[in-house]
Chain A
Amino acid sequence: MKGKVISKPLEARKASPLIVSLSAVFLGIAAGCLFILCIGKNPFAGFERILFGALSNTRRVGNTLGMSTQLILIGLSVAFAFKTGLFNIGASGQMLMGGITGSMLAYYLPMDMPRVIYLAIVIVASMAAGAVWGFISGFLKAKFNVHEVVSTIMLNWTAYWIVYDFIPRFIVDPTISVKSKPIETAHTLRADWITDLTGFSTMNYGFFLAIIMCIVIWFVLEKTTLGFNLKAVGANKFCAEYAGIKVNRSIMVSMAIAGALASLAGLTYYCGYSNIMEMGKMPNEGFDGIAVALLGNCSPIGIFFSAIFFGILKMGRGSLAATGIPTEIADTIIATIIYFTATNVILANFWNGLFKSRFERNEARCRAAMDAHGDKRSLEALSHDEFNAYAKEGKALMKEGK
């Protein structure tokens, strides 16, 4: 933080994405307070209940992390595609493909298999299934210019009906014919030590997988040629092509990786968080992931924290409802936050304007003080402390002038 402030004037005048995201969260929560007030309840009590429901004991913290697991992975999936300029709205379908692959393997692989090998097979297989599912969209986009929003939505329904057909065909629960047979705990991602530690929560190995994936995706995007290529395609497809990057290949790779991430989320959801799959259910998490990615500014670390934030809201909504405030309020808060995140240009402009005017004001003060002192240096040559001191002095000078 030492150094010369003025040497980076552009950055100093720009709002960081973190501030934009936090103000979206703040506005969303403020709107939520307003809604709770409208139905005649105490908003602070309401939010206290949300936090109570999400974090009041180890079991609830575990459940919140268990819920966040899917959201982190879906958020990563959406963000990764987004970096390549693609909108992956098919995370739900990719989740279903990962889930059905994992569930079927859990059902048919022998129980006496070593756990490590079993987990490795299931994780690789379901990621492969999702990668294929994502690749189809990427292929259609690259070869036939089919818009990925259309193809991923279509593939969502294809996956939905595949699951609808596969559950009764292969893994049906004989007592309740609309869902799959519960998977034995040894064949889920749950681990006894986590379950014991968190008082029978839904937290499972998936959470660690999600953290690993955050690091891997960060590494791929920031430190590899592949990541650079993908980002270049996202920034400007034509420019990237001119620079010799294979745009079509990048699109297919990006969608395949996004699909693999989403299907890993499906695996953690259906074979970790839950242990069954139901017929005729499209997982909402696929769409929540878009919000997570937006709020997290598509950066892995941002996604991690925004997913935990959404996890808290989702786990806390039950407690909120138990006090007589409708759960729809929690959903409305989530929706409002998404809305404000989506309009982040407005928020960013607001903050940028604020920063800029503040900075310019300080600059003017500083100049006035320097003139008074007869200091002939340029602004760029000042150190941080000098600048602040001059600005303070200038403020006083200007007041006197009036």
Chain B
Amino acid sequence: MKKTIAILLVIALAFSVFASGSKESGAADGKLMLGMVTDSGTIDDRSFNQGTYEGVQKAAEELGLQCTYLRPSGTTTTDYLTAISDLYDNGYRFIACPGYLFAEAVVQAQEMYPDLMIVIIDDALAAGIGPNTVAITFKEQETGFMAGVATALKVQSGDVGFVGGLEIPAVQKFNWGFQQGVAYANANLGTSVNMDPSNFVYQGSFADLAGGQQLAMAMYDKGVKAIFAAAGGTGVGVINEAKNRRLAGQDVWAVGVDVDQYSVGDMGNGESCVLTSAMKDVAGVAYDQAIAAANGTFKGGVHLNLGVAEGRAGIPASNPNLTPEIEAQVADVAKLIADGTIVIQDTADGLIP
């Protein structure tokens, strides 16, 4: 009896606290607040999450706006939706969601919050893009193509390989573009690089460092000279193996993905085993959309598919492992891609799937 009364008192006390503390705070000065929700990785993943947040942060700094990110408590649609509403209810009206895992949550959020501006990166939102949502995808095949050309020009002959994470469109397009790039160099730039289907594999995970390293070990043992690693954390395993081999005196390379991964391949002696990286400018698009949202020029309901022509895909501006001649040749190829002379397919037709 005594206990019950005590419990009831505690509840009453708790609710009196809630009652006093449920005012909407939010944007006090009426300025837009910029938010972002991370997907399965962390904010410092040197890839998608970090890139997106850097873009949002840059826009916020330039315009003097408040910005923050939330890491959801899990990676289910429920968790993503909760994180989005946490930001919304705290006054954020612009939210960037990097990654295809957000698709379902964004579809629900765009209906629940019509005045929220949402940007989803890496998914075309097949279920329908709301008037308040921008879906952004990249032409991975174009940046993969440029990395392929650069790699072929560097190794000149011998074998190259590919390690992918999950077999999802974004990764597949990297693979197909890379193959077409190597083939283009063979046909037009005088290289004779070989592509064996057994060296083009998907590891099945973005987070299996050891698995990536094992695949790389097997490929380098077979004589593969460069591996394009489009596999997140698994790809880091590939880069680590390349690092070990280079330190042991072997002439092998890894090719990075998504962001400039030169520093990931740092061997501790001022050199890197990362030849170049097939980049998607996640930070740039996040920045663009955040600026547009702040300036009132945000245009929802569209799907943007960005590539070399828009300056949102390509290899890094500086590649210490490529000679200036190679960089110039790749730049020429980029021009041809941008003006439509070179058309790169985003399907597996006639390629290693």
Chain A contacts to B: CB under 8 angstroms: 1, 16, 18, 22, 47-49, 51-53, 55-56, 59-60, 63, 176-178, 182, 200, 202, 273-276, 278, 280-281, 301, 305, 314-315, 317-319, 321-324, 327
C-alpha spacing A177/B203, complex, angstroms: 12
Known A1-B2, A51-B18, A52-B21; judge A327-B71 contact (CB<8 A).
yes
Minimal Cβ-Cβ distance residue in B for A1: B2
B101 at the binding interface (Cβ < 8 Å): yes
Q: Is the CB of B18 within 8 A of A22?
A: no
Q: Is the CB of B21 within 8 A of A18?
A: no
Known A1-B2, A315-B82, A318-B86; judge A56-B22 contact (CB<8 A).
yes
Additional A-B contacts beyond A47-B21, A321-B71 (17; CB < 8 A): A18-B3, A176-B101, A176-B168, A200-B108, A274-B77, A274-B79, A275-B77, A275-B78, A276-B76, A278-B76, A281-B75, A305-B7, A318-B73, A318-B82, A321-B68, A321-B70, A322-B92
B10 at the binding interface (Cβ < 8 Å): yes
Q: Which B90-120 residues have C-beta < 8 A from chain A?
A: 90, 92, 100-101, 104, 108, 112
C-alpha spacing A211/B100, complex, angstroms: 37
C-alpha spacing A251/B82, complex, angstroms: 40
C-alpha spacing A178/B39, complex, angstroms: 14
B235 at the binding interface (Cβ < 8 Å): no
B35 at the binding interface (Cβ < 8 Å): yes
Out of A53, A176, A275, A305, which one reaches B89, CB within 8 Å? A53
Q: Is the CB of B17 within 8 A of A322?
A: no
Q: Is the CB of B22 within 8 A of A327?
A: no
* Majority secondary structure, A binding face: helix
B87 at the binding interface (Cβ < 8 Å): yes
B215 at the binding interface (Cβ < 8 Å): no
Q: Is the CB of A322 within 8 A of B70?
A: yes
Out of B7, B22, B74, B92, which one reaches A52, CB within 8 Å? B22
Q: Is the CB of B21 within 8 A of A48?
A: yes
Q: Is the CB of B21 within 8 A of A51?
A: yes
C-alpha spacing A281/B3, complex, angstroms: 39
B6 at the binding interface (Cβ < 8 Å): yes
CB neighbours (8 Å) of A16 from chain B are 2-3, 6
CB neighbours (8 Å) of A327 from chain B are 70-71
Known A178-B166, A318-B70; judge A53-B86 contact (CB<8 A).
yes
C-alpha spacing A278/B82, complex, angstroms: 18
Out of A1, A56, A177, A280, which one reaches B166, CB within 8 Å? A177
C-alpha spacing A314/B6, complex, angstroms: 24
C-alpha spacing A242/B137, complex, angstroms: 71
C-alpha spacing A56/B77, complex, angstroms: 22
Q: Is the CB of A321 within 8 A of B75?
A: no
B83 at the binding interface (Cβ < 8 Å): yes
Minimum Cβ distance to chain B for residue A87 (Å): 25
Minimal Cβ-Cβ distance residue in B for A53: B86
Q: Is the CB of B104 within 8 A of A55?
A: no
Minimum Cβ distance to chain A for residue B248 (Å): 32
Across the A-B interface, the 4 shortest Cβ-Cβ residue pairs: A318-B86, A322-B90, A48-B21, A274-B76
Minimum Cβ distance to chain B for residue A45 (Å): 8
Q: Is the CB of B17 within 8 A of A51?
A: yes
C-alpha spacing A28/B278, complex, angstroms: 48
CB neighbours (8 Å) of A176 from chain B are 100-101, 166, 168
C-alpha spacing A322/B25, complex, angstroms: 11
Minimal Cβ-Cβ distance residue in A for B70: A321
B167 at the binding interface (Cβ < 8 Å): yes
C-alpha spacing A60/B89, complex, angstroms: 10
C-alpha spacing A360/B129, complex, angstroms: 73
Minimal Cβ-Cβ distance residue in A for B165: A178
Minimum Cβ distance to chain A for residue B191 (Å): 35
Minimum Cβ distance to chain B for residue A71 (Å): 13
C-alpha spacing A317/B10, complex, angstroms: 22
C-alpha spacing A63/B79, complex, angstroms: 11
Ordered by A's residue number, 12 sampled pairs between the chains whose C-beta atoms are within 8 Å are: A16-B6, A18-B3, A49-B90, A60-B89, A274-B78, A275-B77, A276-B76, A278-B76, A305-B11, A315-B82, A318-B82, A323-B68
C-alpha spacing A59/B22, complex, angstroms: 14
Q: Which B205-230 residues have C-beta < 8 A from chain A?
A: 205, 207
Q: Is the CB of B78 within 8 A of A202?
A: yes
- What string of 1s and 0s marks CB contacts (under 8 Å) between B10-37 and chain A? 1100000110011001000000000100
CB neighbours (8 Å) of B73 from chain A are 314, 317-318
CB neighbours (8 Å) of A47 from chain B are 21
Known A51-B21, A318-B83; judge A56-B76 contact (CB<8 A).
no
C-alpha spacing A103/B52, complex, angstroms: 34
CB neighbours (8 Å) of B101 from chain A are 176
CB neighbours (8 Å) of B7 from chain A are 18, 301, 305
Q: Is the CB of A55 within 8 A of B18?
A: yes
Minimum Cβ distance to chain B for residue A230 (Å): 23
CB neighbours (8 Å) of A317 from chain B are 73
CB neighbours (8 Å) of B76 from chain A are 274-276, 278
C-alpha spacing A47/B112, complex, angstroms: 26
Minimal Cβ-Cβ distance residue in B for A330: B73
CB neighbours (8 Å) of B85 from chain A are 59
Minimum Cβ distance to chain A for residue B300 (Å): 22
Q: Is the CB of B68 within 8 A of A322?
A: yes
Out of A52, A63, A314, A324, which one reaches B68, CB within 8 Å? A324
Minimum Cβ distance to chain B for residue A184 (Å): 14
Q: Is the CB of B22 within 8 A of A51?
A: yes
C-alpha spacing A60/B90, complex, angstroms: 13
Minimum Cβ distance to chain B for residue A78 (Å): 20
Minimal Cβ-Cβ distance residue in A for B111: A200
Q: Is the CB of B87 within 8 A of A322?
A: yes
Q: Is the CB of A52 within 8 A of B89?
A: yes
Q: Which B40-74 residues have C-beta < 8 A from chain A?
A: 68, 70-74
Q: Is the CB of A55 within 8 A of B22?
A: yes
CB neighbours (8 Å) of A315 from chain B are 82
C-alpha spacing A146/B83, complex, angstroms: 42
Minimum Cβ distance to chain A for residue B112 (Å): 7
C-alpha spacing A270/B174, complex, angstroms: 34
Minimum Cβ distance to chain B for residue A331 (Å): 10
C-alpha spacing A380/B8, complex, angstroms: 31
Minimal Cβ-Cβ distance residue in A for B87: A322
Q: Is the CB of A200 within 8 A of B68?
A: no
Out of B6, B18, B71, which one reaches A18, CB within 8 Å? B6
